[in-house]
Amino acid sequence: MVEGQLVDELVAKYCTTRGYRYSYGTAGFRDDAGRLDTVMFATGIIACLRSIALDGKPVGVMITASHNPASDNGVKIVEPDGSMLVQTWETRATELANLISSGSAAEIRRRIAELVTSAADVRPRLVIGRDSRVSGPHLLECLLGSANSLFQAQIKDYGLVTTPQLHYLTSRSLSVDGPVEEEDYFVDFSSAWNEITRLHDVERLPSAGLVVDCANGIGGPKMHSFIPRCRVLSEATTVINDNCADALSLNRGCGADFVKTNQRLPDGIRDTDGDSRLYCSFDGDADRVVFYYLNEDNRFQLLDGDRISALFAYFIAQLLEQSGLRSVLSMGVVQTAYANGSSTQYLQNHLKVPVTCTKTGVKHLHHEAVTHYDIGIYFEANGHGTVIFSDHFYATLRTQTHNSLATKTLKLLPQLINQTVGDAISDMLGVLAVLSILKWSPARWANEFTDLPNLLIKVIVPDRSQFITTDQERKLISPEGLQEKIDKAVSKFHSARSFVRASGTEDAVRVYAEAATQQEANELSAIVSKLVLESCYK
């Protein structure tokens, strides 16, 4: 039995945030860093219990707040195979964090002692990483406070890594005997890039160069370590916004979320007249990426997650046709309600690729892709996603006796694209490989379809929990009557749609509007936003 005095001492030392309600959202716990010590202590317990329940398999813990401001932080738990924590354990994590935050000392002591004592005689194994936020070391200390003191966990701390690296390293720790080092990540993905570009005789990028905006996050130093290993890229790539030592600059005026939301170049890019380069932006922990370029009129043109999905679908469909496997292997694209309507029509009508819609959050897209397709392509419009290949895919490729160029390329794609989670670096490599093989310029990529004009805004509300959705978050069932008013507003515009969903991290709702012209989209957005606010103050 764990001594009650030890539990009391640990809670007093590490859990200063009391009386606060926590929620494990689509990307784990995330909040102002000053409120997270209690959550981190609880996460150490839950992560250890999850490892014990899986007979000591490695469980990952990543301390990050992704694209959020530098003052925020968060934590997510990773399954041994590199996937997101199963949802039943999300509930356990939330319940324990809220018990420690709001329960009585006796209740907290009893529950923690019960959890630790009921655990099997297995030493838990944790794989830990964090992004570059200044709050990271303190929050790590709170996590280790429970993991070490209550469980004597076996811990591998990789220090500063990207979120996709942590997912990858957790998965590799499960599958490989012996030590797993960060170097393995660089070697595996750069080797796949070098092999596929040699296979297709790629000696230059189809643009005048590549500029990578790293959001002043941990992706900056990782890119500097990675690029010299990659043929073609080492001479053609410029890395900007790579100062992760400047805490306040993280995601400020740069990064994937800034570029996507503001539809403009990030800070740090100059001398763009006559530019024919391809640009991309990561977010703070390098698990999402968006691309963009300047057209012949020197105007900003975004190539977001919808475009990335379409590019991969176009390319892989060709490979399946050329290898004679299109009728053997199923391929589909998973989207959310935020996907532009034109991208859905392009995939379904032009490429004849099935499209599935699911709730926002990469864990939902990943599950849908894995469950329904041999080749599941999923990207949220914000650039978070990957391409997942099934066991049936691998088994089928192993039986192919005719090793054509298309077949060889199909075999290399899963090595080039991170199979555990969306990864800005490996997704960037995948996109660059496809563009180089197809010999497509950024403009050629953009011309595959024309986005319907749209607008996404945030509306602050007193209580986001009253906004309850159905139909994969495309329709509201609460507040009562609001959806009917939205439908009536949408009917007044051409090729229009609009939906409202609650934020997962703050008391706000997201209002998305899409229409035939930007003016109509803006007008529709204003009408729906007003309806949202009116529903809050009836």
Binding residues for substrate: 380-382, 501-505, 510
Cβ neighbours for 469, distance < 8 A, ≥ 6 positions apart: 475, 476, 477, 499, 500, 501, 502
Q: Which two tokens stand for residue 229?
A: 């290993």
Q: Establish whether 23 is a catalytic residue.
A: no
Q: Which two tokens stand for residue 487?
A: 């439908």
Binding residues, as ranges, are 66, 283, 285, 287, 380-382, 501-505, 510
Which is it for strands 58-63 and 125-130: parallel, antiparallel or unpaired? parallel
- SS3 state of residue 158: strand
Q: Which two tokens stand for residue 13?
A: 């030392």
Q: In this structure, are residues 165 and 195 in contact, taking their beta carbons and an 8 Å threshold?
A: no
Taking the CA atoms of 345, 26, 76 and 279 in sequence, report the sign of the dihedral they define. Answer: positive
Q: In this structure, are residues 284 and 68 in contact, taking their beta carbons and an 8 Å threshold?
A: yes
**Alpha-carbon distance values, 201 to 119, 226, 230, 319, 405 (Å):** 55, 21, 14, 17, 12
- SS3 state of residue 337: coil
Cβ neighbours for 236, distance < 8 A, ≥ 6 positions apart: 204, 205, 209, 210
Which contiguous run of DSSP H or E holds residue 508? strand 508-514
> Which amino acid appears at position 289 of this protein?
V
Q: Which two tokens stand for residue 208?
A: 């005048």
User: Which candidate in 66, 436, 525, 529 is catalytic?
Assistant: 66
Binding residues for Mg(2+), as ranges, are 66, 283, 285, 287
Residues annotated as catalytic are 66
